[in-house]
């Protein structure tokens, strides 16, 4: 099989780049004919995947962390339209555990990811799309394969995404440190949530959105202090909807962050929409 591989050498604290020769040799046993592109800047993966699809490549493989994989997924679309509807997407997560890996039953680490691809099958899966705004008010559109969220979880993702400490002291410690720092700075926010048969102004900590079966699984975690320390997470409200619109109320101070597949995307207001069975995933 042939494949276009896009990989981020800086993911996993630079380990992806250091291990690239081994990764390439392992991938060649699955895809004997490969061409590949090394990302050197943010958003490059999406542009290169889009160009590769237009050039006729039918198998795209993203190697890296959550950000690289999410950018590659976004390359499958251009102004809301699939660039190549029959193309197939695969990913090898070279970093630490992620929600994306857990959702599709793939262990993190490039060795496990490549091994999984050897016996993986192609199936159509849902894609989520969020339309939100940047910190400067510019419109932002992002697609996501695993999950998206807004509120506290997205603020933690933004803090961790810009952290240099992860390279020095490890991802696990950095995640713990930034979670604690974000919790300390967190101020409760109120948003209006509008979904199918649901319209409420609620105080929230985080709202999670995950595509499944042609709709979103929505999880609304309230904004009490006990919720923020993790003591009431199991009491989050669960909803199902094909669309969700969220906007902060006037009494909410400061922006409310949005993330997609673990990467900061923008801020509210935002609209989440589902694209059922919209991408061919080898998993």
CATH number at residue 23: 3.40.50.10330
**CB contact at 8 A, 282 and 69:** no
Which of 120, 148, 164 is a domain's end point? 120
103-113 per-position pLDDT tens digit: 999 988 999 99
Which of 94, 120, 146 is a domain's end point? 120
Query: Which of 211, 209, 228, 229 minimizes the C-alpha distance to 219?
Result: 209
Locate 176 and state its tokens: 């713990």
Locate 119 and state its tokens: 């016996």
The answer, yes or no, to whether residue 17 has pLDDT greater than 50, is yes
**CB contact at 8 A, 250 and 58:** no
Quick check: helix, strand or coil at residue 276? strand
Paired with 129 in beta bridges are: 143, 273
Locate 130 and state its tokens: 């969020």
pLDDT of residue 182: 64
Whether residues 162 and 208 share a domain: the answer is: yes
201-233 per-position pLDDT tens digit: 999 989 999 999 999 999 999 875 444 444 444
pLDDT confidence band for 187 (50 / 70 / 90): confident
pTM of the model: 0.90
126-167 per-position pLDDT tens digit: 999 999 999 999 999 999 999 999 998 898 888 877 544 444
**CB contact at 8 A, 227 and 161:** no
Question: DSSP string spanning 111-152?
Answer: HHHHHHHHT--EEEEEEEEEEEE-TTS-EEEEEESS-EEEEH
Whether residues 271 and 161 share a domain: the answer is: yes
pLDDT of residue 20: 94
243-279 per-position pLDDT tens digit: 999 999 999 989 999 999 999 999 999 999 999 999 9
Domain span including residue 116: 2-120
């Amino acid at each position: 099989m042939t494949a276009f591989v896009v990989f981020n050498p800086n993911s996993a604290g630079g380990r992806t780049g250091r291990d690239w020769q081994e990764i390439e040799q392992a991938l060649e046993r699955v895809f004997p004919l490969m061409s590949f592109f090394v990302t050197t800047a943010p958003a490059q993966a999406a542009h290169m995947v889009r160009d590769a699809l237009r050039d006729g490549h039918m198998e795209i493989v993203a190697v890296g962390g959550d950000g690289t994989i999410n950018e590659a997924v976004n390359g499958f679309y251009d102004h809301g339209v699939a660039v190549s509807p029959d193309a197939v997407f695969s990913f090898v997560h070279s970093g630490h555990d992620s929600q994306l890996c857990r959702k599709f039953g793939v262990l993190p680490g490039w060795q496990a990811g490549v091994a999984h691809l050897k016996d993986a099958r192609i199936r159509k899966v849902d894609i989520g799309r969020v339309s939100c705004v940047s910190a400067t008010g510019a419109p932002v559109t992002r697609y996501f394969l695993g999950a998206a969220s807004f509120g506290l979880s997205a603020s933690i993702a933004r803090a961790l995404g810009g952290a240099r400490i992860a390279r020095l002291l490890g991802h696990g410690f950095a995640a713990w440190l930034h979670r604690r720092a974000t919790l300390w700075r967190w101020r409760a926010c109120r948003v209006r949530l509008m979904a199918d048969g649901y319209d409420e102004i609620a105080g929230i900590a985080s709202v999670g959105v995950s595509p499944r079966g042609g709709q979103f699984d929505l999880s609304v975690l309230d904004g009490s202090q006990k919720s923020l320390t993790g003591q009431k997470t199991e009491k989050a409200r669960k909803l199902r909807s094909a669309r969700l619109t969220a906007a902060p109320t006037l009494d909410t101070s400061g922006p409310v962050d949005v993330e997609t597949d673990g990467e900061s995307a923008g801020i509210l207001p935002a609209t989440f929409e589902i694209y059922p069975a919209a991408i061919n995933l080898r998993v």
